[in-house]
Amino acid sequence: MQFFFKTTYDQDLRLIQHRGQLIAYLLLLGALAAAPLLLSSYLQSQFVFVFIYAIVGVALMILTGFTGQGSLGHAAFLAIGAYTTAYLQSKGVPFAGAGLFALDLNLPWLGPGKLWLPHLGYFLWAGLLTGIIGAIVGFPALRLHGIYLLIATISFAFIVEEILARWESVTHGNEGLRVRALQAWGVEIPTNQVSFYYLCLAVLVLVIIGTLNLMRSPTGRAFIAIRDSETAAKSMGIDIAAYKVKSFAISAAITGLAGSLYAHKLSFISPEMFTLLLSIEFVMVIIIGGAIGLHGAVLGAIFIVMVDPLLTWVKDDVPSLAAGIANVLGLGAGRAQALEQSLNSIASAAGLKGAIYGVIIMLFILFEPMGLYGRWLKIKLFFQLFPLYKRASFKRQKTYVKTERNR
Amino acid sequence: MLDFIQQLVSGIALGCVYGLIALGFVLIYKATEVVNFAQGDLMMLGGFFAYTFISLLGLGYWWGFLLAVLSMGLFGMLIERLLVRPILGYPQFAIVMATIGLGYFLRSAAGMIWGTDDLKIDNPFASGVIRIGNLVLAHDKLSVIVATLILCATLYLFFNQTRLGTAMRATSENMLAAYYMGIPVKRVVSLIWAISAMVAACAGVLLAPITFIHTNVGLALGLKAFPAAVLGGFGSIPGALAGGVIIGVIETMAGFYLPAGWKDVAPYLVLLGVLLLRPEGLFGMVARKKV
């Protein structure tokens, strides 16, 4: 077992605490860089989804995990990023690279005209615009808390969904929009290529490093202070209003970037893709991963993306497998067949996926409230302290219902 | 004018259903500070229970109604014991997610048991209208309004006149103080969940003639009842009902007088506006923390 003695305050702030950590992360990065050479194209595409979900997870972690403000409206931010991408692309803006683009305006008192705007590619515009909208959503959040905030974000998401379906001149309504292959600096990057995988990986790594930097800055510490106690934060001189808006804006902007990648990954977007269920899925990412650190966002993203193929596999293979086992155990062919049939009928029941989702959420919150990352920390501590691990070190202290009415 | 009154009545009828679901939200929230996102799905389940008792077992409308309500009460206690009690005191967001998970599970389970078709309950109000001059009022809508009024009066008397009701009010005022006064807080909370589920079941059975019973009815209505509860101030029982009626009327009017698309958004727009002007809702009370 290693001990790290901290001799300066800088050591608390370092992104990488010791050499072992550096080596581990470099190995992980190397493995991810080498992965496309080994993976099938299906798994490679699943990995891209993991990256995109992880980016959203990090964004939600900043808002929910670190600032303590719940949101069930992140699908709307994702949608804004995705639609900005599709719209600007149709105006001839590239993914990245400087230039000008024209917006056709028809102002009531000036007549039709063009508004020329500078751009650095629509990827950054997607982030910027979503960030601005996030800040606007954040303003009502100043006066709301807890459940009121949650319902305000849900309302916002519904309104965005309806606008996307009705504003046909921009969004083509329910017909949806096609997103063409990505172009950056004159190079085309088709979605199914390895280069798109690397692009998403790079964005994820940059977002994570940026967030780590944010969280060790005064801004990040203010976020955490607000989460732990608004009253205490206020009395330490933190401008709660400003920091809440900042948290919303940053979280929305990162989600907007993810939305841009998401649009390219799906290559077709329509309003019904960005419903409340998607927002719930994003919250599941951080609840299942564990809302205690950025690792949680990534682990949760892996879980949520991979649970789908896993369920399909269970559906297809488990009944015949079970029948095979029953045969070996000597139950007789007739009974084995009956077993296979009954399992098949359970597996093919409509809505099984929803039930399993629901059970997963409930079980995680009941038995693993710190999520997968919390489980990982427990396992790590078990081996670090090997014979001396005590279950009680992670036991939740007795909590009372803290009223949110008086604040 | 006639159209207006017609729309008003159906808006109020719809609003009463929202109000009943919102009432369930508020009861639970007041007692335990838990926001039960599965309230709409409890309503859906109540409808399915009633369908089972009335149409499948043929027990007759009123017996089926009663049995459905009672069994939903037991079901509510079960949920409280298994899911809610262990996680009381967690961050609110985690509890909300747990009830969202419960909602997912109930919807799928109901779909597997009863199928995903629209079901219909034979009931005494299905047809028949009251005519006042040129005004035509359907029985099914009036029955919802009348039943809601009766239910609310019963609940009001229960909370204000009985010992148990007083204990429940004390629990929701301050759990710890109620415990010191010798109130069996756990049992009271369990009963509050039962009442809330029973109210939801009533809403489900009353709604059955207007919109058929299917697995997603709870989600759709629950998401509308939620703004209703917030509009009413989330801690106030008359507020929940008033909020429900306001949302119901706004939705119906927007559907009738405004172009398509406004119907679904209008309640949320109103809600956001109210929250901006009065963050504690229309009937909510603000208590400031004193240090």
Q: Hey, is B213 helix, strand or coil?
A: strand
Mean pLDDT of A50-78: 92
What is the helix (H) or strand (E) element at residue A58, kind and residue range? Answer: helix A41-60
Work out the angle between the directed axes of helices B2-32 and B39-51 (0-180°, nearest 10).
110
Residue A407 pLDDT more than 50?
no
Taking CB atoms and an 8 Å cutoff, what residues of chain B touch A357? 101, 104
Residue A251 pLDDT more than 90?
yes
Taking CB atoms and an 8 Å cutoff, what residues of chain A touch B177? none
pLDDT in the model for residue A104: 66
Q: Looking at the partner chain, which of A276, A349, A407 has a beta carbon nearest the beta carbon of B112?
A: A349
- Distance CA(B175)–CA(B31), nearest Å, equals 8
Q: Looking at the partner chain, which of B93, B104, B279 has a beta carbon nearest the beta carbon of A354?
A: B104
Q: Looking at the partner chain, which of B87, B116, B289 has a beta carbon nearest the beta carbon of A350?
A: B116
Taking CB atoms and an 8 Å cutoff, what residues of chain B touch A140? 272, 275-276
Task: Report which DSSP code applies to B83.
Answer: I
Q: Testing the interface with B: which of A153, A236, A361 to mutate, by most B Cβ within 10 A?
A: A361
Taking CB atoms and an 8 Å cutoff, what residues of chain B touch A137? none
- Distance CA(B14)–CA(B8), nearest Å, equals 10
Are A60 and A250 in contact, with CB atoms under 8 Å apart?
A: no
Which one has a higher pLDDT value, A265 or A395?
A265
Question: What are the DSSP E strand ranges found in A161-242?
Answer: 177-178, 182-184, 187-189
- Distance CA(A259)–CA(A387), nearest Å, equals 47
Note whether A276 contacts B105, CB cutoff 8 Å: no
Note whether A146 contacts B103, CB cutoff 8 Å: no
Looking at chain B, which residue has its C-alpha nearest residue A167? Answer: B261
Which one has a higher pLDDT value, A191 or A228?
A228
Note whether A351 contacts B105, CB cutoff 8 Å: no
pLDDT band at B277 (very low <50, low <70, confident <90, very high): confident
Q: Hey, is B80 helix, strand or coil?
A: helix
Q: Looking at the partner chain, which of A151, A349, A365 has a beta carbon nearest the beta carbon of B87?
A: A365
- Distance CA(A304)–CA(A309), nearest Å, equals 10
Note whether B234 contacts A403, CB cutoff 8 Å: no
Mean pLDDT of A25-42: 87
Note whether B269 contacts A159, CB cutoff 8 Å: yes
Q: Looking at the partner chain, which of A151, A358, A366 has a beta carbon nearest the beta carbon of B230?
A: A151
Note whether B265 contacts A158, CB cutoff 8 Å: yes
Residue B285 pLDDT more than 70?
no
Looking at chain B, which residue has its C-alpha nearest residue A349? Answer: B112
Are A87 and A269 in contact, with CB atoms under 8 Å apart?
A: no
pLDDT in tens, A161-181: 888 888 877 778 778 888 877
Taking CB atoms and an 8 Å cutoff, what residues of chain B touch A70? 92-93, 96
Taking CB atoms and an 8 Å cutoff, what residues of chain B touch A351? 107-108, 111-112, 116, 215
pLDDT in the model for residue B3: 80
Taking CB atoms and an 8 Å cutoff, what residues of chain B touch A158? 264-265, 268
CA of A66 to nearest chain B CA: how many angstroms apart? Answer: 13
Taking CB atoms and an 8 Å cutoff, what residues of chain A touch B109? 355
Q: Looking at the partner chain, which of B107, B275, B281 has a beta carbon nearest the beta carbon of A351?
A: B107
Mean pLDDT of A372-387: 85
Taking CB atoms and an 8 Å cutoff, what residues of chain A touch B102? 358, 362
Q: Looking at the partner chain, which of B33, B98, B264 has a beta carbon nearest the beta carbon of A401?
A: B33
Taking CB atoms and an 8 Å cutoff, what residues of chain A touch B87? 365-366, 369
pLDDT in tens, A198-223: 889 999 999 999 999 999 899 999 99
pLDDT in tens, A222-246: 999 988 888 888 899 999 888 999 9
Note whether A361 contacts B279, CB cutoff 8 Å: no
Taking CB atoms and an 8 Å cutoff, what residues of chain A touch B173? none
Are A177 and A268 in contact, with CB atoms under 8 Å apart?
A: yes
Mean pLDDT of B108-128: 77
Taking CB atoms and an 8 Å cutoff, what residues of chain B touch A284? 97
Give the closest residue to A54 by CA, choosing from A357, A354, A355, A257: A257
**Structure tokens of B100?**
């969202």
pLDDT in tens, B221-241: 888 888 888 888 777 788 888
Tell me how far the alpha carbon of residue A180 is from its chain's centroid.
24
Note whether A401 contacts B175, CB cutoff 8 Å: yes
- Distance CA(B113)–CA(B136), nearest Å, equals 38
Looking at chain B, which residue has its C-alpha nearest residue A69? Answer: B93
CA of B15 to nearest chain A CA: how many angstroms apart? Answer: 18
CA of A8 to nearest chain B CA: how many angstroms apart? Answer: 34
Note whether A362 contacts B105, CB cutoff 8 Å: yes
Give the least confident one: A107-111, A257-261, B164-168, B281-285: A107-111
Taking CB atoms and an 8 Å cutoff, what residues of chain B touch A146? 92
Note whether A362 contacts B103, CB cutoff 8 Å: no
pLDDT in the model for residue A397: 60
* DSSP-assigned letters across all residues of A286-331: HHHH-TTSHHHHHHHHHHHHHHHHHHHHHHHHHHHHHHHHHHHTT-
Residue A393 pLDDT more than 70?
yes
To the question of pTM greater than 0.95 for the whole model, the response is no
Q: Hey, is A332 helix, strand or coil?
A: coil
CA of B95 to nearest chain A CA: how many angstroms apart? Answer: 8
Looking at chain A, which residue has its C-alpha nearest residue B265? Answer: A159
- A vs B, Cβ pairs < 8 A, gives 153
Question: Residue ranges per domain, chain B?
Answer: 2-215
Return all residues near A309 (Cβ < 8 A) that are at least 6 apart.
Answer: A46
> Which range has highest mean pLDDT (A58-67, A106-115, B22-31, B260-269)?
A58-67
Residue A76 pLDDT more than 80?
yes
CA of B129 to nearest chain A CA: how many angstroms apart? Answer: 36
Note whether A147 contacts B97, CB cutoff 8 Å: no
